[in-house]
Amino acid sequence: MDSYTLPYTFSQRAQQLTSSTIREILKVTERPEVISFAGGLPAPGGFPVEEINAAFDRVLQQNGKAALQYGPTEGYTPLRQWVADDFKRRGADVSLDEVLIVSGSQQALDMLGKLFIDEGSKVLVEAPSYLGALQSFSLFGPEYASIPTDGGGLIPEQITDTLAAGARFLYALPNFQNPTGVSLNLARRQALVERCAALHLPIIEDDPYGELRYAGEPLPGLLALGRKVGATVVRLGTFSKVLAPGLRLGYIVAPRPIISKLVQIKQATDLHTATVSQMAVYETIKDGFLDRHLPTVRELYKRQCGYMLDAMEEHFPDTASWTRPEGGMFIWVDLPEHLDGSRLLDRAIERNVAFVPGAPFYAGMPKANTLRLSFVTVSEQRIREGIATLGELIRES
C-alpha cells in the first residue's frame, strides 16, 4: 500500500527513508545456492561462544540482581575503565569520564547525527564511505561534501577551506575501511589531524576493524595523533568484530563536553545499554582474553582474504583493479570504466553470485564501475567458484 492511502501520516523524515540496497540484496542471497560476497557479517567461526556463555553464567550467579537492574547511562564503570586503560596502553591518555558505552557503534552514529546535524548542515565524508553511517546521518538532513580517496585513504590536501567551510564534522574510517578495505597511511593521518585542528573541525573516527590487522604494521589512531595537535576527535569502537555483533556493545571516546551531551541524548534514546551484556563482556575480557582470542580471528580472516585475492588474480581480467587489504573484511573492485556494478549484479544473480555494487557507498557523485566483495563467511571452494563466475562475466562485458 502506498503511504498516502494509509489512515495515518508518517513524518517527512520517515517518508524519505528507503530500504538499503544491501538489505534488498541480502533477501536474494538467502537462497542457499547463491554464493554471496554481499554480506558484511563477521565469521561466526570467530565467536567465542563458550567463553561468553561462561561469562554470562558467572555474572548471573555471582551478581544476578545487579546484572538485571537498570544502570547508569554512561555505562558499567569497570567496562568504561577497561576501555580507558586499553587506550592508555596504546598511547592515548583517556580518562573514565571520556568514555560512554553504547549499544553498538551504529547507535553512536545515530547519536552523533542528533548531536551535530541540523537540516542542511554540512558533513564531510570519504568517497566512498560506510553506508550505515550515511543512512544514520541522512535522517537529520545534512548536505554532504565528499573527500576524494585513493589507495592511501582520504586525501587531506583536498580538504580545502571552501570544502570545509561551516562543516559540523568529518567522518573518517582510517583502518581497513568499509567498503574499500583501504587504510589511511601514516603521513596522511598526521596531515589530517593537523588540518582539522587548524580548521576547528571535529573528526569522527569510526574504527570497528583496527584490531583485525593481519598484515603490515599497526598505525596510530586519529584519537592519539589528534590529541597531540589539539584536534577534536570522537572515536567509535565496538565489540562486534572482536567478540560478536549480537552483543550490541560499543563505545564512544570523546572530550567531556561532547560526552555530557551524548549522555543526555542516549538517555532519551534507550536509557542505557543492556547491563547484563556489559557485565558479561567485561567478565569475558577483563583478564586479557582478547590478546589470546584475536590472533585466531586474524588468522582466519587472513586465510579467507588470501583465497579471494588468489582467485581474483587467476580469474579477473587486467582491465579490473582491486584493493589488497591488510585487515578487515572487504575488497573493493574498480571495473573497466564502461561497466556498471548494478548491471553486473543483475547478471551475477542469474548465475547465483552476489556482491554489493559500489554506487550506494557514495554520498555524492557515485563511481558506478565499482563493487564491494566480502570474503569472511564464504568457504574456500565457493570463493573460487564465485570469483571464477564474476571473472567470466566481467570479461564477457
Ligand X SMILES: Cc1ncc(COP(=O)(O)O)c(C=O)c1O
Q: Which residues bind ligand X (CB under 6 A)?
A: 40, 104-106, 130, 132, 173, 178, 206, 208, 238, 240, 245, 250
Minimum Å gap between C-beta 106 and ligand X is 3
**Cα–Cα–Cα angle for 262, 264, 265, rounded to 5 degrees:** 60
Contact assessment for residue 317 and residue 387, using Cβ atoms and an 8 Å cutoff? no
Contact assessment for residue 284 and residue 291, using Cβ atoms and an 8 Å cutoff? no
Minimum Å gap between C-beta 369 and ligand X is 23
Cβ closest to ligand X, residue 108 vs residue 311: 108
45, 196, 232, 234, 389 from 227: Cα distances, Å: 37, 12, 7, 11, 48
Output the nine-digit C-alpha cell for 48: 567465542
Cβ closest to ligand X, residue 170 vs residue 320: 170
Contact assessment for residue 99 and residue 122, using Cβ atoms and an 8 Å cutoff? no
- Separation of alpha carbons 310 and 388, rounded Å: 11
- Separation of alpha carbons 181 and 175, rounded Å: 8
Cβ closest to ligand X, residue 202 vs residue 250: 250
Minimum Å gap between C-beta 208 and ligand X is 5
Output the nine-digit C-alpha cell for 393: 562475466
Minimum Å gap between C-beta 20 and ligand X is 12
Minimum Å gap between C-beta 310 and ligand X is 25
Contact assessment for residue 323 and residue 312, using Cβ atoms and an 8 Å cutoff? no
Handedness of CA 380, 385, 389, 394 (dihedral sign): positive
Minimum Å gap between C-beta 153 and ligand X is 14
Cβ closest to ligand X, residue 249 vs residue 276: 249
Cβ closest to ligand X, residue 276 vs residue 339: 276
Cβ closest to ligand X, residue 265 vs residue 393: 265
Minimum Å gap between C-beta 22 and ligand X is 10
In eight-state DSSP terms, residue 74 is T
- Separation of alpha carbons 397 and 393, rounded Å: 6
Handedness of CA 124, 127, 132, 135 (dihedral sign): positive
Cβ closest to ligand X, residue 154 vs residue 339: 154
Minimum Å gap between C-beta 145 and ligand X is 19
- Separation of alpha carbons 42 and 178, rounded Å: 13
CA nearest 361: which of 178, 202, 167?
178
Q: Which residue has the cell 585466531?
A: 296
Cβ closest to ligand X, residue 266 vs residue 315: 266
Query: 3-state DSSP call for residue 344?
Result: helix
**CB proximity list for 106: less than 8 A, separation 6 or greater:** 132, 136, 250
Minimum Å gap between C-beta 392 and ligand X is 30
Minimum Å gap between C-beta 296 and ligand X is 20
- Separation of alpha carbons 221 and 90, rounded Å: 9
Cβ closest to ligand X, residue 72 vs residue 132: 132
Cβ closest to ligand X, residue 178 vs residue 370: 178
Of all residues in the shown chain, the one whose CB is closest to ligand X is: 104
